[in-house]
Amino acid sequence: MHDSEIDRRYAEARRIAAEAGALALDYFRRFDGLDVEVKGHQDFVSEADKNVESFVRAQIAAAFPEDGIVGEEEAPKPGTSGLVWVIDPIDGTTNFIHGIPGWTVVLAGVAGANTEFGVIHDPNHDEMYHARRGRGAFCNDRRLSVLRGRDLRRGSLGVGFSGRTSAGGIKRLVPAIIDAGGIFYRNASGALSLAYVAAGKLLGYVEEHMNAWDCLAGQLMVAEAGGVVEDQDASDMVARGGRVIVATPEAWDEVLAISEAAYAPGQG
């Protein structure tokens, strides 16, 4: 796909995210009346998730009917263009359904092994994080850069956990961070935490397994903001998800070593 066609989709992704965010925000203001289903351990879906995803899918299909779509709540839609939209209508549903303003609308565009663009929209704070491969990462119109000149003892490391893995990894990870002189941060929205790394608010982010719709946009942003991202094939992530480790250049070696030790197989 030509760059100009990807640029069109990048622009449209920002428009769709803004409109989807407004729709989600309307539901959020009525959070105590939402219909909520339990999918698994601390894994919820609300009527807002379903309706916002349906809105996003309809907008993409109308603008780019040849594109594929993979989302959290509905079945994948195959495409013929070579570009797949990877979407999470509300990342941070647990926060959302309890009235905590720590959730985002997430869209990413994947072509082959590469994430070409990503958008993480935080409508509660009117912050739209976005990136285009090779052209930088931004919050609204402000160019982003990761923290520089700080090690693990001079900042916070974001961590995540889901019921897709055993609790053993996170039980080893958190004490290891503290023993190294660091402190951990968890906000229950992995996408937003990744955006915070790109924005210079966190030193890094670590999670043993993330789905593509939660991480691809943020991983691109961290890379474009000058951070280090564990190398992965975006198409493989769409198919299976995987481990996510990102950090500033100065913190990378230590974050990687702590994470690999915590997540090493055979420890229970």
pLDDT tens for each residue of 9-27? 999 999 999 999 999 999 8
For residue 40, the model assigns a pLDDT of 52
CATH of domain 3-143: 3.30.540.10
pLDDT at 165 over 70: yes
Can you give the residue ranges of every domain in the chain?
A: 3-143, 152-263
Closest CA to 168 of 268, 53, 41: 268
Chain-wide mean pLDDT for the chain? 93
For residue 164, the model assigns a pLDDT of 77
| pLDDT, average across residues 168-190 | 94
| Beta pairing, strands 68-71 & 84-91 | parallel
* Band of pLDDT at residue 42, cut at 50, 70 and 90: very low
Residue 30 burial by Cβ neighbours in a 10 Å radius (0-12, 13-18, 19+): exposed
Fold for the domain defined by 152-263 = D-Maltodextrin-Binding Protein; domain 2 (3.40.190)
Tell me how far CA of residue 62 lies from CA of 36, 57, 90, in angstroms: 29, 9, 21
For residue 75, the model assigns a pLDDT of 83
Tens digits of per-residue pLDDT, 138-162? Answer: 999 999 999 999 999 999 999 999 8
Pick from 24-33, 69-78, 142-151, 232-241 the range whose average pLDDT is largest: 142-151
| pLDDT, average across residues 83-107 | 95
pLDDT at 66 over 50: yes
For residue 41, the model assigns a pLDDT of 52
What's at 92, amino acid-wise? G
Q: Is there a shared CATH topology between the 3-143 domain and the 152-263 domain?
A: no
Distance between CA atoms of residues 244 and 9, nearest Å: 25
Distance between CA atoms of residues 51 and 146, nearest Å: 34
| pLDDT, average across residues 186-192 | 95
Q: Report the percentage of the chain scoring pLDDT > 70.
A: 96
